[in-house]
Chain A
Amino acid sequence: MGDPALSRRGFLAASAAAGLGMTALSGCGGDSDGGSSGTTTVEWWNISTTQPTKDVWAALAKKFEAQNPKVKIKIVQLENDAYKSKMTALIASGKLPDIFHTWGGGVLRQQVDAGLVEDLTDRTKEWSEGLLPVAKEPYLIDDQVYGIPFDIGMVGFWYNKALFKKAGIDTPPTTWSGFLDAVRALKAKNITPIALAGKEAWTGMYYWAYLAMRTAGAEAVQKAADDKDFTAPEFVQAGRLLKELVDLQPFQKGFLGAAYSTPSGQAAAVGNGKAAMELMGQWAPVVQADAGKGLGDDLGFFPFPEVEGGKGAITEVFGGGGGHALRRGAPQAAVDFLKFFASETTDRELVKKTGVLPVVPAAEDALTDVNLKAVQTQLKASTGFQLYLDQAYAPALGQEVNESVAALIAGSKSPEQISESITKVAKEEQ
């Protein structure tokens, strides 16, 4: 390890640095409203650090400022993980930025319960009602609106049409047994059927979550979370079905140590044509092209297959998006900005330039990509919705689900054991 016996001077330097870091951190939540000249500064924290989104968002902020001369938007952009840890520190201090990124679900609920988030139900009613219902779902807490979406998506299978053809699979499977047959057919042709990032536990969680939605139904999954009981036979069956898949050894070599977006990871394996498919959200094509070569026209999308005899329908979707919430007591200008950001004109621009899916139904025609259109069609026709489990649940439970499913895939826990361990943690939380 580094230098366990730090000299005293080294230690002092380190602690001084830590101290400075702390001051810098606490300086971030600075006051925003008010100001002598009558202008309001609105602080906007987001995680759009990649291009082209970064520039598009900055331009939108400028445009809003031009329309509202008395408002200044201060953008703070942080990388995903850095954002999460900074938010943790801010929550402990009790002071959030005016506008901040949220995924909704359990994390947002914690912030709401701590009394830190503005209830937007009445303040946004007139314009937020027209937004795509499924997109608003993650930010509804006890039927109150706490966030406004700018993106929505869902998880499904992204597959390589050429490799499917090579294995003699004409149409993507719609049932679980058909899916397992497709995996066998691909294996028979020496094609790696599925890429999986075993190092990042959330990628495996998608399988179990979807299977549970297919066996028990989206409502029952929701109810299990409310009742803190995941021991119903359907959940154990979901584990068994996943085990069936794992037993076929469908994943790439060394998948247990593979990451998601690195050059030797899950997305690259599909993007380079080394594996035939992956179960991933609407961002998959972008990452495949970024980490690997990308499949272009060979890339296709199909929804997670139905389980024969299961209570869930193939039209129930599992996914999530991105949204913005306001700190409690944020100035009116922040609400105005949310309205501006969720307007048809803005959404059209976001869809065209940054590859998100439209949350304003009128902006739909801006969507041109065939696969994203397929995702959009699925979303609009959805009969049920479940947010990513690791976002929907409190962090401890979300992580337990991820890790339990990872253990099932690695072969160290049985379907019964993971239902039990998830239930146990669910019950421990409050």
Chain B
Amino acid sequence: MTSTFLPDKRAGSGTDLPPPPADPARGRARRRAVNWLTAVSFQVPALVLFIVLVLLPILFALYAAFFRWGGFGMPSDYVGTENFTRLFDDPVFLGDLWRCLLLVLLSLAVQLPFALAMAVLLNQRIRGRALYRMLFFAPYVLSEAITGVLFSMIFAPDDGLADQVLDNIGLGWVGGEWFSDPSTVMATLFLVMTWKYFGFHMMLYLAGLQSIPKELTEAALIDGASPWQRFRNVTLPLLAPTLRISVFLSVIGAIQLFDLVWVVTQGGPDHHSETMAVTMFQFGFKRYQVGYASAISVVMFGISLVFALAYQRFVLRRDLQGATTTMRGGGK
């Protein structure tokens, strides 16, 4: 690094200015080379870390996914695409995909609109709004493991806080077995996820709302727009970039969901709350079928990647304009 860097430094040092280059084109080329070298030398440490800790593991997982491999030594038992065909034959994994979709849909249909409503509400001048904002955001700060332990106590059948409170206000029939019943486990899980994450999205929206100039809403008011019209035609369009980011985070989060589920149910009862990451963990670290677990992680990676790229390409395109440097734009 230093050996490539030093000559450039000497060339560019201000103490004894080199005579102006006779050929301006050659000077530009040289300056460009110097810039390029500087950029590279600054990139190298990060690049090495990225390659060693991200790129190589991903490539290795991709490689291991084609082997039957117990995790000891190097993979040697090549099985072709068997791991993948087995994956898409496995009712548990197909269930994982369905549950992932379910969580994404529920997040988009319930959690985010709820967060938006709260954000709009707390953007008004109401008493103690700072306190509410803090309270609603607080769950997001809590670690997932602690959230999991907390809610498995709250939703313990009969003895838990939830069932006790419901019993005492005469709503005992609402309660039940929560996480313990295959038919209610996903709903309960989603409830906890909403509790934990709506505050985060609410904060995003609040920040977005506050960047909307007041003049616009005032102008709409003067034009006689109803509250709904002001929201629909002024607030919402201006909030759209924030919404798009929030949707993106929410979907990626649902695809990778692990900690909360692992702490609360370990995917149970009877796989009814299992996610892709939980299945991967079960096979990789409980059964030591690392090849198969790699196949699961590859599929997860693929889904995330395709979604992320497609979303950036088609949805975030406008928001990202100018933010990303392309070869064409950055070469100036």
Q: Which residues of B contact A410 (CB under 8 A)?
A: 182, 269-270
Near B by CB (< 8 A), chain A positions 280-313 give none
Q: Within the assembled complex, what's the spacing in Å between the Cα atoms of A398 and B249?
A: 37
> Are the C-beta atoms of B256 and A258 separated by less than 8 Å?
no
> Are the C-beta atoms of B49 and A406 separated by less than 8 Å?
no
Knowing A88-B71, A264-B159, A406-B268, say if A258 contacts B180 (CB, 8 Å): yes
> Are the C-beta atoms of B265 and A4 separated by less than 8 Å?
no
Q: Within the assembled complex, what's the spacing in Å between the Cα atoms of A19 and B269?
A: 35
Distance of A410 from chain B, by nearest CB (Å): 4
Q: Within the assembled complex, what's the spacing in Å between the Cα atoms of A196 and B316?
A: 50
B160 touches which of A255, A256, A264 (Cβ 8 Å): A264
- Cβ of A1 under 8 Å from chain B: yes
A15 touches which of B54, B72, B266, B289 (Cβ 8 Å): B54
Knowing A264-B156, A406-B270, say if A257 contacts B180 (CB, 8 Å): yes
Near B by CB (< 8 A), chain A positions 237-264 give 253-259, 262-264
> Are the C-beta atoms of A257 and B253 separated by less than 8 Å?
no
- Cβ of A374 under 8 Å from chain B: no
Q: Which residues of B contact A255 (CB under 8 A)?
A: 180
> Are the C-beta atoms of B156 and A4 separated by less than 8 Å?
no
Q: Which residues of A contact B241 (CB under 8 A)?
A: none
> Are the C-beta atoms of B269 and A199 separated by less than 8 Å?
yes
> Are the C-beta atoms of B177 and A399 separated by less than 8 Å?
no
Distance of B258 from chain A, by nearest CB (Å): 8
Q: Which residues of A contact B177 (CB under 8 A)?
A: 253-254, 256-257
> Are the C-beta atoms of A18 and B53 separated by less than 8 Å?
yes
Near A by CB (< 8 A), chain B positions 155-186 give 156-160, 177-182, 185
Chain A CB within 10 Å, residue with most, of B46, B178, B269: B269
How many A residues are at the interface, by size bracket?
35 or more
Knowing A395-B287, A399-B286, say if A2 contacts B259 (CB, 8 Å): yes
> Are the C-beta atoms of B158 and A254 separated by less than 8 Å?
yes
Chain A 185-213 per-residue mask, 1 if CB under 8 angstroms from chain B, else 0: 00000000000001110000000000000
Distance of B243 from chain A, by nearest CB (Å): 16
- Cβ of B252 under 8 Å from chain A: yes
> Are the C-beta atoms of B180 and A256 separated by less than 8 Å?
yes
> Are the C-beta atoms of B180 and A8 separated by less than 8 Å?
no
- Cβ of A114 under 8 Å from chain B: yes
Distance of A4 from chain B, by nearest CB (Å): 4
Q: Within the assembled complex, what's the spacing in Å between the Cα atoms of A410 and B144?
A: 27
- A400: nearest residue on chain B (CB-CB)? B287
- Cβ of A75 under 8 Å from chain B: no
Q: Which residues of A contact B286 (CB under 8 A)?
A: 395, 399
Knowing A254-B157, A257-B180, A399-B286, say if A1 contacts B252 (CB, 8 Å): yes
Q: Which residues of A contact B180 (CB under 8 A)?
A: 198, 253-258
- Cβ of A51 under 8 Å from chain B: no
> Are the C-beta atoms of A19 and B253 separated by less than 8 Å?
no
> Are the C-beta atoms of B153 and A264 separated by less than 8 Å?
yes
- B269: nearest residue on chain A (CB-CB)? A256
Q: Which residues of B contact A4 (CB under 8 A)?
A: 249, 252-253, 256
Q: Which residues of A contact B179 (CB under 8 A)?
A: 257
Q: Which residues of B contact A199 (CB under 8 A)?
A: 265-266, 268-269
Q: Which residues of A contact B152 (CB under 8 A)?
A: 257, 259, 262
Q: Which residues of A contact B287 (CB under 8 A)?
A: 395-396, 399-400
> Are the C-beta atoms of A256 and B268 separated by less than 8 Å?
yes
Q: Which residues of A contact B5 (CB under 8 A)?
A: none
Distance of A427 from chain B, by nearest CB (Å): 13
Q: Which residues of A contact B53 (CB under 8 A)?
A: 15, 18-19
Distance of B182 from chain A, by nearest CB (Å): 7
Q: Within the assembled complex, what's the spacing in Å between the Cα atoms of A110 and B70?
A: 10
Q: Which residues of A contact B34 (CB under 8 A)?
A: none
> Are the C-beta atoms of A257 and B270 separated by less than 8 Å?
no
> Are the C-beta atoms of B157 and A396 separated by less than 8 Å?
no
- Cβ of B41 under 8 Å from chain A: no
A1 touches which of B73, B160, B257 (Cβ 8 Å): B257
Q: Which residues of B contact A259 (CB under 8 A)?
A: 152
Q: Which residues of A contact B249 (CB under 8 A)?
A: 4-5
Q: Which residues of A contact B265 (CB under 8 A)?
A: 199, 257
B72 touches which of A2, A92, A412 (Cβ 8 Å): A92
Near B by CB (< 8 A), chain A positions 1-33 give 1-2, 4-5, 8, 12, 15-16, 18-19
Q: Within the assembled complex, what's the spacing in Å between the Cα atoms of A259 and B152?
A: 10
Distance of A54 from chain B, by nearest CB (Å): 24
- Cβ of A85 under 8 Å from chain B: yes
Q: Which residues of B contact A254 (CB under 8 A)?
A: 156-158, 177-178, 180-181
> Are the C-beta atoms of B178 and A1 separated by less than 8 Å?
no
Near A by CB (< 8 A), chain B positions 135-150 give 144
B269 touches which of A12, A91, A257 (Cβ 8 Å): A257
Q: Within the assembled complex, what's the spacing in Å between the Cα atoms of A5 and B156?
A: 33
Knowing A199-B266, A264-B160, say if A256 contacts B49 (CB, 8 Å): no
A-B contact pairs, 29 of them (CB 8 A): A1-B258, A1-B259, A5-B248, A15-B49, A85-B285, A88-B285, A88-B288, A92-B73, A114-B72, A199-B269, A254-B156, A254-B157, A254-B177, A256-B177, A256-B180, A257-B157, A257-B265, A258-B180, A264-B153, A264-B157, A394-B288, A396-B287, A396-B288, A396-B289, A406-B268, A407-B271, A410-B182, A410-B270, A412-B270
Q: Chain B: residues with CB nearer than 8 A to chain A?
A: 46, 49, 53-54, 70-73, 144, 152-153, 156-160, 177-182, 185, 248-249, 252-254, 256-259, 265-266, 268-271, 282, 285-289
